[in-house]
Structure 1
Amino acid sequence: MTETYTFKITKEKSRIDKFLSDQLADHSRSQIQEWIKDGDVRVNDTVVKANYKVQEGDEIEVTPPEPVEIDAVPEDIPLDIVYEDEDVVVVNKPQGMVVHPSAGHASGTLVNALLYHVKDLSGINGKIRPGIVHRIDKDTSGLLMVAKNDLAHEKLAEQLQEKTAKREYMALVHGELQHDKGTIDAPIGRDPKNRKKFTVIDGGKHSVTHFEVIERFKDFTLLRLQLETGRTHQIRVHLEYIGFRMAGDPLYGPRKTLEGKGQFLHATSLTFVHPRTNETLTFSAPLPQEFEDTLELVRRRS
């Protein structure tokens, strides 16, 4: 069922579409304007237009329509399955693969591949995200856990929420980071200046990333990172925030300085408690060859 959002205005604000886009950071302003146009947004139980100026005392109710799901179809796409049993699958996702279908990526996704290679998947996230407990970006490679039934899905999701599952990444960043280790604790929300990006912003969601320097090069640093929370683009945003942008990152990084297909970010390690046996499982995935080749290149340059 679609979640309904309610807001009570305590002081005069701006246009309703801008106000809601600031409050609902996971939705674009154009999407919110569509909801307003379709009557899914009501102020004091009355439909308004996008240019309505909210006033003190207004009560706003937003009821987004049920999402139209794209039927994901099985596709015979090669898949690196690291582990599989009756409850869980651990997959090493390649760089360039989208996790689940969307309007711009109806096929060729991890979900399409899973539907072909795996007999059963959890139905908690519907037809479009069967079995998907957590995601990584299209151009990030590495380990993901997938649930084969709803009980496993609930228990794995609970571990992510309670921060007991551990996810480690390796990243190559621009600059020579002098601190050997540290923690970035800064709230993340959608960037009001660029809806495709997220940024550190007042009122954003609590976000924590731990880092440790593995190797320093001339103009670059190799980091190991551990996520305490799992916000969209979290590592990329936090590294940009402290001034060490991801190498190869087309959205947050500087102009392309190294050959590659996207950011040099790889999910190397995944630890969780098995939802049925309660055994602690740890999996690792080596860096992709292109990542290794790039590290060798920056070593030689150094």
Structure 2
Amino acid sequence: MIKTGVEVLVENDCFIAINKPARLLSIPDREGKDISLKKILEEQYGKGNIFTVHRLDRDTSGVIVFAKDEATHKQLSALFEGRDVEKYYVGLVQGTPFSDKGSIEEPIMEHPGKITKMMTHQKGKPSHTEYEVLEKFRRYTLMRFQIHTGRTHQIRVHMQHMGNSIVCDELYGSAEPIFISALKNNYHLSKKEDAERPILSRLALHSQQLKFTFNDVEYNIEAPLPKDLRALLQQMRKLKA
């Protein structure tokens, strides 16, 4: 771990791979008020020693890579842009998809009415997401995604298109958090609690794995599921059992 407690998955002289927590910006936003992962790394390694290779949405957790020099930045950026990186995500979606496996190739473009939103449209850029159902629950489904293109909000937009938006997705579905009481019929608050806290209140999407070859070395970088997603899955598995 680096000084701030952010988990380092892989580090060498060329790049650093971090397990990004949810709710943390990958890079500074336009206003620059909130802390970002890049800012945290720059404070430790120096401002000229951290370069953005790719990004994760603020509420998405998991594997993210930063380069440590310009040459590495150029090489890694070319790998990501050239689709030479295998990118896998795990997400919890609303309902149950029609098919347990499939491929979505709907083009994606910026929404004409909302700056921060994307949409599927025939005039959009080519976008390709493969999906697989991992586990089914009463109201939700755990899925694995492989993205072959890197469009903004790609998985979120494609899952909205399928009719199974990512859980707690305020842009493309419902921001409504998940409470234990909604899963259990006989749930009661403990005497110490004044009000029930949600077990999950952020986008249920996690960058699980990146696979690529850099300088003739094969990297397979994985990030374990964060505590909130693990806790929710544990509760739903208990109820299913």
TM range (shorter): 0.7 to 0.9
Offset at residue 121 of structure 1 (A): 5.1
CA contact (8 A) 1:120 1:148 kept: no
Give the counterpart of 1:296 among 234, 237, 240: 234
Q: Deviations over 1:52-89 (max 9, x none)?
A: xxxxxxxxxxxxxxxxxxxxxxx963321111111011
Paired residues for 1:205-216 under 5 Å: 205-216=125-136
Displacement of 1:184 in angstroms is 0.6
Which amino acid in the other structure matches residue 168 of structure 2? G
- C-alpha contact 1:187 1:205 (8 A) present in aligned 2: yes
- What is the aligned length? 219
Aligned partner of 1:196 among 116, 120, 131: 116
Question: Cα deviations across residues 222-248 of structure 1 (Å, max 9, x unaligned)?
Answer: 001011011111110000001101111
- CA–CA distance in 1 between the matches of 2:115 and 2:79? 30
Is the counterpart of residue 282 in structure 1 residue 237 in structure 2? no
Question: How far is 1:107 from its partner?
Answer: 4.1
Taking the aligned partners of 1:243 and 1:256, their CA distance within structure 2 comes to 16
Return the offset for 1:297: 2.4
Aligned to 2:10, what secondary structure does the other structure show?
Answer: strand
Secondary structure of 1:294's counterpart equals helix
Measure, in 1, the Cα distance between the counterparts of 2:172 and 2:78.
30
Q: Name the SS of the counterpart of 1:115 in structure 2.
A: helix
Alignment counterpart, residue 45 of structure 2, candidates 118, 129, 149: 118
Quote the offset at 1:194 in angstroms: 2.8
Contact residue 268 and residue 286 of structure 1 kept, 8 A: yes
CA deviation profile, 1:172-210 (whole Å, cap 9, x unmatched):
000112422111101111112333211101211111111
Structure 2 matches for 1:44-83, cutoff 5 A? 77-83=4-10
Q: Counterpart of 2:211?
A: 271
The aligned residue for residue 89 of structure 2 is: 169
Match of 1:240 among 152, 156, 160: 160
- Does 2:8 correspond to 1:86? no
Does structure 2 conserve the Cα–Cα contact (< 8 Å) formed by 1:210 and 1:225? yes
Amino acid at match of 1:84: E
- Share of identical aligned residues, percent? 31
Gaps of 5+ in 2: 179-197
Q: Distance in 2 between matches of 1:226 and 1:92?
A: 18
Name the amino acid aligned to 1:282.
N
Query: What is residue 262 of structure 1 aligned with on the other side?
Result: 202
1:109 lines up with 2:36 in the alignment: yes
Q: C-alpha separation between the residues in 1 aligned to 2:48 and 2:96? A: 43
Aligned-pair CA distance for 1:288: 0.3
8 Å Cα contact 2:167/2:204 also seen in 1? yes
2:24 aligns with: 97
How far apart are the structure 2 equivalents of 1:294 and 1:210?
24
In 2, are the aligned partners of 1:170 and 1:223 still within 8 Å (CA)? yes
Specify the structure having the higher radius of gyration (Cα). Answer: 1
Indicate the larger mover: 141-150 or 99-108.
Answer: 99-108
SS in 2 for 1:299: helix
For structure 1, list consecutive stretches of 5 or more residues without a partner in the other structure.
1-74, 123-129
Quote the offset at 1:136 in angstroms.
Answer: 0.4
- Assess if the C-alpha contact under 8 Å between 1:121 and 1:147 holds in 2: no
Hey, what's the Cα distance between the residues in 1 that align with 2:175 and 2:28? 29
The CA deviation at 1:108 is 1.4
Alignment check: 8 A CA contact 2:177 2:202 kept: no
Q: Secondary structure, in 3 states, of the residue corresponding to 2:17? A: strand
- Per-residue deviation, 1:150: 1.1
Is the CA contact 2:120–2:157 (under 8 Å) kept in the aligned structure 1? yes
